[in-house]
Structure 1
Amino acid sequence: MSSYGTRGRLQRGALYAGGFLGPFGGGVVASMFPELGASLGVSTSQAASSLTAYLLPFAALMLVSGTYGARWGGLRTVRVAYGVYAAAALLAVVAPTFAVFQASRVLQGCANSFTTPLLLAALAAVTPQARLGRALGLFGALQAAGQTTAPLVGGLAAEVNWRIAFAVIAVVALGLGAIGLPPADAPATPGAPPRLRDALQPTVLRVGLVALLGWGALGGLNFLVAFRAEDTLGLDSAHRGLLLTVFGLAGMLAARPVGAAIDRFGARAAVITGAIGGAVMVAATGLLGSVGAVAVSWALAGVAGQFVLVGVNSAILTSEGANRGGAVSVVQALRFTGSALAPLALTPLYAASPVAAFVLPTAMLAIAAPLLMPRSAHRPAD
């Protein structure tokens, strides 16, 4: 990696800050639904749909955003995306009706879909391969921090006025857009523009399926753990929230060491370790009978989730494909699809058999994810 000076260090820091902002902006509404509903004249359940309004376009556009963003130019695309993100947040600040607020959430989700894959591609471009796992681990830690702290910060803002949270988001997004991206060590090789077909290669799709199954069976199970915490462990809403938080906190603390392990042992080994270890922890979370034991197992599941998440990102970003930004975009889209599908698939199963609802993701993690992970995935240099 080059020595960039003050501006280069600021730009590199902005990459990580962008990793925090995306999940933070998505989840900031989670604890303010009653206040949103009361302010905008809708029910709390209607207000809760603002989370879906963000996530659906975000996941859908991620399939193509990395490819088109690379084609338009990473720096230009990221700046425009941050500008749209800020404008959408300001629209939320002044929204007079829930329909306008929903439109702002859709725009935020669309804009974020164009920042996340390009930030990851830029991080790979300025980081030596031998240290990429650690850099991706730090990025993953900040993503986990954004996801974990968003409900807390949103709830605190809502105690005064929920619109304050979106005003702060707008200011941060404008600042990150002004800072831009760090220059890569080597200029891009001129040639044909990135194509989506280059991102939809069999190896990329296999890694994407691992991300879908792995993250859907780990990060997508918060709702299932909440069901069990209420039905079996008898926890009230506050204690259920604390229990669910340990997944993100443990993942946040473990992400950087996980990245260092990936640099040493390789992405495939990390993903398999996370998948098998996560299977054990998901099974324990679904079967153990004490609150303390479930909390420990769910926290360790958060660590396993970072092995899977950072591992699949490392596998893609160290590949030899012609469109790495598009490839990581496809993998991330499939990851969030897994999170979205988990409640649809497992809620009816939980109603029929709570044990079976935990056994199915355990099997996917222990069997399907290791079999799908390509053997050609990144291995450390000798």
Structure 2
Amino acid sequence: MLPELGSSYGVAPGTASLSVTAYFLPFAAVMLFSGALGERWGRRRTVVLGYAGYVLASVACILATTFPLFLVARALQGAANAFTTPLLLSALGAAAAPGRLGRALGWFGSLQAAGQTSAPLIGGLAAEADWRFAFAGVAVVAAVLGVIGIPADEVDGREHQPLGRALRAAMRPAVLRIGLAAALGWGCLTGLSFMVALRLEEVFGIGAGPRGLVLTGAGIAGLLTARLVGGGVDRIGRRRSVLTGAGFGVLVVLAVGTLPAVWAVVAAWAVSGVATQLMLVGVNAIVLGSELSSGGAVSVVQSLRFGGGALSPVAFTPLYHADPLAGFVVPAALLAVGLPALLPRTRGG
């Protein structure tokens, strides 16, 4: 909907794309400490307040009369959502039965993939009439989710823990290493979708619509396989699942960067959805199924993951323009070497 959004405010589509950055920067930054704050305030209460804040910010997006005000409202949306994602994962980890954490996270991943896959289509359809309808829709959904809420917190003493101690616990070296591994995995695989689109255009002459369909293939594959991946994580182990996903990711990145047939690139990129789910479910299971488990730790890992995706275009676009092959070989090498070196061994992981 960026062209329609830009037209509404009298700015170019490139300028309108700042609305994406305005959302994700506070989303990732606030998530560094939102989990620790949420456990101190109570998960259920914080998630409900997060949804309420998201509703108000969405309404502000609809009512914004200038583009700068719209950017402020988008930043508020991102900050509000930072108080839902990690705490939902933390609540899921607390509710999952022993030995079935991977399956529960697989369900979570499949629903996330469904949202990520359908959002561009629904947003585009809304923009055909008025882009504001998309924000009205997410406001209604957030309001309904806020009413539904999540299960009540189990009292475990964390609400009485000093905030400084909770933040220090969330920033432990093992947590940071897991977060950096997640950032590397996300940035060097899912974050390369922009380069896949560039190659489809420059090498194969594929238009914008078909390129969008190709990129959607990864989300569809992730949606269809997330539950199976979750069960596989329970069977083969969390760390091994992440490394398996990274191995598939290496092959995918090399394939989409070198294969000479467009159908082969399409098939390879679809496999990236499965590789991403293996890494994502495995990383979340490592945190939630070990002694590191806490809302604060989940929050830090998720923040670094999204940060890795945000940095991917900045890191790899100049490399791709200098040498298209190197643009894919370097992230593949980082997945192959960097991720196993970063990922720590944790008890229960």
For normalisation by structure 1, the TM-score amounts to: 0.88
- Could you give the per-residue CA deviations for residues 22-80 of structure 1, whole angstroms, max 9, x where no partner exists? xxxxxxxxxx1111112222222221111111011001111111111111111111111
CA distance in structure 1 between the aligned counterparts of 2:68 and 2:173, rounded to whole angstroms: 41
CA distance in structure 2 between the aligned counterparts of 1:187 and 1:96, rounded to whole angstroms: 45
Residue 84 of structure 1 aligns with an amino acid whose one-letter code is G
Alignment of 1:82-93 (within 5 A): 82-93=51-62
| Residues 1:188 and 2:156 aligned together | yes
Percent of matched pairs sharing the same residue: 55
Alignment of 1:1-382 (within 5 A): 32-183=1-152, 186-189=154-157, 192-193=161-162, 195-321=166-292, 324-376=294-346, 378-379=348-349
C-alpha contact (below 8 Å) 2:55/2:142 kept by paired residues: yes
C-alpha contact (below 8 Å) 1:126/1:183 kept by paired residues: no
CA distance in structure 1 between the aligned counterparts of 2:157 and 2:230, rounded to whole angstroms: 28
Residue 74 of structure 1 aligns with an amino acid whose one-letter code is R
Any runs of at least 4 consecutive aligned residues in structure 1 with deviations exceeding 4 A, and if so which?
none
1:14 maps to: none
How many pairs align? 346
Residue 287 of structure 2 aligns with an amino acid whose one-letter code is I
1:10 maps to: none
1:318 positional shift:
0.8
CA distance in structure 1 between the aligned counterparts of 2:254 and 2:345, rounded to whole angstroms: 27
CA distance in structure 1 between the aligned counterparts of 2:74 and 2:315, rounded to whole angstroms: 26
Unmatched segments (≥5 aa) in structure 2: none
C-alpha contact (below 8 Å) 1:117/1:329 kept by paired residues: yes
CA distance in structure 1 between the aligned counterparts of 2:187 and 2:98, rounded to whole angstroms: 28
C-alpha contact (below 8 Å) 1:314/1:378 kept by paired residues: no
CA distance in structure 2 between the aligned counterparts of 1:59 and 1:187, rounded to whole angstroms: 28
User: Match of 2:99, SS?
Assistant: helix
C-alpha contact (below 8 Å) 2:40/2:161 kept by paired residues: no
1:109 positional shift:
0.3
C-alpha contact (below 8 Å) 1:218/1:302 kept by paired residues: no
Q: CA RMSD in A?
A: 1.4
